[in-house]
Amino acid sequence: MNPFLAVVVGVLYAVGTYLVLQRLLTRVIIGLGLIAHGANLLLLLSGGDPGEPPLADAAGVVSGASDPLPQAMVLTAIVITFAVTAFLLALAYRDWHDTRSDEVEDDLEDRRIAALAAREGRR
Amino acid sequence: MKHRPSLIAQTGLRIVFHTLVVLSVYLLAAGHNAPGGGFIGGLVVGAALTLVWAVDGPQRLRATLPLPTFTVIGLGLLAAAAAGTIAWAQGRPFFEAVAFGLDLPLFGKVKLTSVFLFDAGVYLVVMGMVLGILVNLGEEVEA
Amino acid sequence: MPGPPPLPFAALPVFWLIGSQLVVAALVLAAGRRRPRSAVIVSAGALAAAFGWLAAQVGTITSGGVVVEHLTWVPHLGVSLDLRLDGLALIMGMVVTGAGALITLYSGAYFKWGPPTARFVGYLTAFAASMLGIVVSDNLYGLFVFWELTTITSYLLIGFEDEKGSARAAALQALLVTGVGGLAMLGGLVLLAQQAGTSSLAALLADPPGGTVTTVALLLVLAGAFTKSAQVPFHFWLPGAMAAPTPASAYLHSATMVKAGVFLLARISPAFHTIPFWTPLVVGIGLTTMILGAWRALRQHDLKLLLAYGTVSQLGLLTALFGMGTPAAVYAGVAMLLAHALFKAPLFLVVGAIDKQTHCRDIRLLDGLARRMPGALAVALAAGLSMAGVLPLFGFVAKEAAFEALLARSPWLLALVAASSALTVAYTARALWGAFGRKPVSAQADLVGAKAGGTPLFLLLPAALPAALGLAFGLLPGLAAPLLEATVGTAGAGALKLWPGLKPALGVSAATLLAGLLLFARRDAVERLQRAGHRRLLAKWAPTGEGIYRRALAGLNRSADRVTAVVQSGSLPVYLGIILLTVILLPGSALVLGTALPRVDFGGHWAQFLTGGVVAAAALAILRVRRRMAAVVLLGAVGYGMAGLFIVYGAPDLALTQLLIETLGIVIFALVLFRLPPYFREARWRLGRALRLGVSAAVGLFVTGAALAVGTASRPPPVSAYFNENALSAGGGRNVVNVILTDFRALDTLGEITVVATAAIGIAGLVTGAVRSRRKRQEP
């Protein structure tokens, strides 16, 4: 395990978290993208040491290759992250289109429900 | 914003677009044995479509589409799911690989596998997604 | 687990027995609204066909055969659709399909062939399919799935008149009580399967496990059986379930679903009744339920409730008989079960007919129906006398068999059951007199019934057939005997006789009949005694199951309210912060306390330091930029750096994908950001900047630690070895990553492209919605 790349994963997660904990939707989306990169790298690292591409020779033998399973997982993760990011961008666009702001407001409905629940709970 | 196509870009596009489409089909077909596959092939054809969108504009992209976006995505999902049911219908586990021959009029006997059908489904879904983004977001933002 | 060779679907009759009902139910629910008659005919026809097929198997089963089918489902967890049709399954299956076909016809007339008919019949058919599933399941998990399906269909049927609050509450109560029992049962079944090393019911019973774990497992399974079959203290849901339309009450809540619990007992009791706690517990609960149900039936005024408490009582007797587990007791139990279906369903159906004709079910108000509805009276008499155990009806024959089995065990048991039989006679008389007798003119209420018309054919015939069958089986017990013997497996376990000879059991029968009639004759005194007893004792001292249910539900709601009031602040950063802090505190502390120091090794290709450095630097730079586009470009730099790392790690597929995605991604970001203002606006934050920095740093440290721990932890041999070896031979491809995606883990990939497709649909929805709202704004 190379501790340097582990630190890189940590940096991706930390910066991503910092961005996600704010209210501007575009920044949140960028933060999520960074966290996704971090997760992909973490998955790849968990497969062990680097190696040759996992391609079998004509006899069906694979030698000296890196672990193929994390690669398969990361491949689909990359595509899904792309699709979800595009969806979030559409959401940010729609928010901007309707409200001229891409800030995530407090959910007033949530607060109303909480107040209602507090009343019910006291009864 | 009115779209003003550039002649050089349009000429370049004619060459690059077809090359990319052929490349994407090659990547799809070769993907089982070499780097490539449905995801990558779908993204390459998506890149080709992005070029069409950038050069000719979203209206033109929509006009040249042979099929609507959701038909492409639906066909992809259908193909992938069908690939799984082939083995199942024969009483073997869902998604076990099955090879079957096809007699096509021009090509003669062609050997196909359910895996290829599945990967082609992936290709169509990924391509459809990129297409959907371009047609919807692209057109909206231009408007 | 190597299974038998797979069969093509067409050769699986038992599978299609269930599957065809499901198909019909879906069809009827989807297309039957406008054609209630066709819906009824198709559903009843399918059930009748299933009944016919089962009847054709009688020869095979009585000569000792079984029909077995296997369909793998999740083979690695031992979950499969193992279907097994043996004697017990056959007799229950015939009850389910036979009663189902008749009651479906009845429901058509009951709902006057109107729009609700199709929905009702559809639910009923879906229920029949689930119930058949319980009956023929040989796999513990399959059994559980069908078990819960009956709970759900029962919920839909009890709450069928969903505009009534009381019906919804009763449906929810039945769902929660039987659902909680079902969950307990699932736990028990999992433990049993673990103990026995098999999930096949037949294999489990052939070689039953023992020990403490098995005891716990059995207790949990019993909780499921007791809730389903309405045993004390869970019995209260069944009278509540009478909110269902009467055909559903007749079918689910007397003839079939409530029998699922006792059916399960009949299945497993022979293997487990030798465990010390088993007989005292099961027989004790059964007998308590039996007495309590009969006693409470005696003071009901609503005919349906009266019959419902009668069902509770009969289920108690069945539980006791099956709980004994001896062949003679099981034999008698199955006979009782069949007899009960043959007499209780017609009684309910007659009550439904009376309700339809008079809009009344109160025995104090119904008057003079004997003359107005003679057909209904005849059916009710045949069924009622069977329920009371009067010669020469099947109820008598079955009761005699039960008495014989009990007498062989202990005279005390017989005395208790005889007492309950006397109560049964009394409440039967009360029901018959209440429905059809002449009432003295009373001052405070208007009697109904004088103007009722006769009974329509379709309300009468479905009730008359099983009642007639009860008479036929009573006169010729030899008709039913071979099937009953097939359920026990050994010949001579018991005998069904119309005239048992002058034995003690016959004397007991005669005595219970007399005592019951006496109780009925002095019914006013009995009623006074009951009311006084209830007021003085039970209402004050005994915590009823229903009370506990109510309090538990209220408490759950209250605590949910309190938690919501505290947690739900409405702020997204606060929500995320809470989740992240939980991650840091729980798995984080485990990481710090539980792992050794990692092995540090700075080896590897030099390029990974370069690309890794680019990734980290670009990510950190995003924190500083204020232009949106600059942040996107930096995110792209991170992505290209990742592609570089993928190349170093030997993952060309990933590198290709990442490069393509990153390029397309920048285009799409640009598409949207083109519309937004170029700079991020500094906004007021709810969480302080320092706090956010702290949480983020902690998350980063935690993930770094986790990455290092993953590298240090000892691990089992990776599954990838299997993938590497079999990629070419089994998957037919040399690119192992692609073979995993398209073959080994293809189902995962199918799920993933479904997510992709869903996202595309979501994007289209968001954008077209924006266009529409803009048009609306421009138009007015």
Cβ distance of C565 and A121 shorter than 8 Å: yes
Model confidence pLDDT, tens digit, residues A50-71: 778 888 877 777 777 788 888 9
Dihedral sign, Cα of residue C245, residue C380, residue C479, residue C270: positive
Chain C (374-403) residues lying within 8 Å, Cβ to Cβ, of chain B = none
Model confidence pLDDT, tens digit, residues C635-693: 999 999 999 999 988 889 999 999 999 999 998 888 888 777 777 766 555 557 888 89
- Residue C595 pLDDT > 70: no
Read off the tokens for B11: 């000429």
> For residues C457 and C542, which has the higher predicted lDDT (pLDDT)?
C457
Cβ distance of B39 and A76 shorter than 8 Å: yes
Distance from CA of B9 to the nearest CA of C (A): 17
- Residue C337 pLDDT > 90: yes
Chains touching chain C through at least 3 C-beta pairs below 8 angstroms are: A, B
Cβ distance of A86 and B133 shorter than 8 Å: yes
Chain C (702-731) residues lying within 8 Å, Cβ to Cβ, of chain B = 730-731
Buried b / exposed e along C165-182 (16+ C-beta atoms within 10 A): eebbebbbbbbbbbbbbb
Q: What is the mean pLDDT of residues B101-127?
A: 76
Chains touching chain A through at least 3 C-beta pairs below 8 angstroms are: B, C
Q: Give strand pairing partners of B102.
A: B110
Residues from chain C that touch B45, judged by Cβ atoms under 8 A, are none
Choice among B97-111, C124-138, C368-382, C522-536 with the minimum mean pLDDT: B97-111
Q: What is the 3-state secondary structure (H, E, C) of chain A?
A: CCHHHHHHHHHHHHHHHHHHCCCEHHHHHHHHHHHHHHHHHHHHHHCCCCCECCECCCCCCCCCECCHHHHHHHHHHHHHHHHHHHHHHHHHHHHHHHHCCCECCCCHHHHHHHHHHHHHHHC
Domain ranges of chain C: 275-521, 722-780
Cβ distance of B137 and A86 shorter than 8 Å: yes
Distance from CA of C749 to the nearest CA of B (A): 8
B47 touches chain C (CB under 8 A): yes
Q: Which residue of A has its CA nearest to C637?
A: A34
Cβ distance of C598 and A89 shorter than 8 Å: no
C750 touches chain B (CB under 8 A): yes
> Mean pLDDT over all residues of chain C?
87
> For residues C408 and B72, which has the higher predicted lDDT (pLDDT)?
B72
| Enclosing domain of residue A35 | 3-56+64-122
Model confidence pLDDT, tens digit, residues B43-52: 999 999 998 8
- 8 Å CB contact between C303 and C249: no
Backbone angles phi, psi at B93, to 5 degrees: -55, 145
Model confidence pLDDT, tens digit, residues C597-624: 666 666 667 788 889 999 999 999 998 8
* Pairing outcome for strands B108-113 and B99-104: antiparallel
Q: What is the pTM of this model?
A: 0.71
Q: Which residue of A has its CA nearest to C571?
A: A106
Cβ distance of C565 and A76 shorter than 8 Å: no
The neighbour count for residue C302, using CB atoms within 10 Å, is: 16
The beta-carbon neighbor of C735 closest among B33, B50, B95 is B33
Residue C469 to residue C102: CA distance in whole angstroms: 13
**pLDDT at residue number B1:** 45
Model confidence pLDDT, tens digit, residues C71-111: 776 666 666 788 899 999 999 999 999 999 999 999 999 98
Task: List the Cα angle C623/C628/C634 in 5-degree steps.
Answer: 55
Q: Which residue of A has its CA nearest to C634?
A: A30
Model confidence pLDDT, tens digit, residues C150-199: 999 999 999 999 888 899 999 999 999 999 999 999 999 999 999 998 88
Site from B115, B116, B126 to mutate, C interface, most C CB atoms within 10 angstroms: B115
Choice among B91-95, C118-122, C470-474, C545-549 with the minimum mean pLDDT: B91-95
Total number of domains in chain A: 1
Cβ distance of A121 and C561 shorter than 8 Å: yes
Cβ distance of B115 and C733 shorter than 8 Å: yes
Of A115, A85, A36, which Cα lies nearest the Cα of C642? Answer: A36
Chain C (75-114) residues lying within 8 Å, Cβ to Cβ, of chain B = 75
- Residue C449 pLDDT > 70: no
Domain ranges of chain B: 7-142
Q: Which residue of B has its CA nearest to A71?
A: B35
- 8 Å CB contact between C741 and A78: no
**pLDDT at residue number C538:** 62
Residues from chain B that touch A93, judged by Cβ atoms under 8 A, are 137, 140-141
Backbone angles phi, psi at C600, to 5 degrees: -100, 130
Residue type, C76: H
Q: Which residue of A has its CA nearest to B129?
A: A83
- Residue A111 pLDDT > 90: no
Model confidence pLDDT, tens digit, residues C283-293: 999 999 999 99
- Residue C339 pLDDT > 60: yes
Read off the tokens for A66: 């890196």
**pLDDT at residue number C735:** 87
In which band, very low, low, confident or very high, does the pLDDT at C3 lie, cut at 50, 70 and 90?
very low
What ipTM does this complex have?
Answer: 0.91
